[in-house]
Amino acid sequence: MLRAMSPLLFMLLVACGEPSPETGLAATYSDQLKPLLYENGLLADQIYETAAAAQGGKLDAAAVEVRWASRVTPVAEHLADQAELIIPPTGWETRHDELVEIWTDRADGYRALTDALARGDRDQWREGRKQADESKVREERWFIEVNRLLAPHGIALDQLP
């Protein structure tokens, strides 16, 4: 069969070969994160929908509190919990621990916002907002850096699919 193959096709098949072990580990980690990234996208949707409805006058303060307590904070907490359950492949442990910390801090910030809404506590609101905003920036940086590391393997993570 190899005699019937064109030299160019033969060279392409040989050049492609098997992926490196590092590419396999990167792909494994990417595959483990995919369900969580979809949930991260759903969380973002809940936040945007709640903010848009509140700014558009469709939700009063009590309705915002209910949405935040029932749709935003629980999803953020679930996402952080699910991330903790992942056992990253060799070489990805430190990066994954960073993501777990970021998502846990974000969930804590959202819980503080939920509590602040329930109590009408502006100081707690500011502190929760600060924590959530800082987590968002850290998350953005994490995805930029991890995608830079994944790029040589032909892999990219979509933060909010």
Tens-digit pLDDT profile for residues 83-123? 999 999 999 999 999 999 999 999 999 999 999 999 999 99
pLDDT band of residue 17 (cuts 50, 70, 90) is low
- pTM, entire model: 0.86
Phi, psi angles (nearest 5°) of residue 154: 75, 25
Cα–Cα distance, 76 to 70 (Å, whole number): 11
Q: Domains of the chain: which residue ranges?
A: 23-153
pLDDT for the residue numbered 19: 75
Query: Tell me, which fold does domain 23-153 have in CATH?
Result: Four Helix Bundle (Hemerythrin (Met), subunit A) (1.20.120)
The chain-wide mean pLDDT, for the chain, equals 90
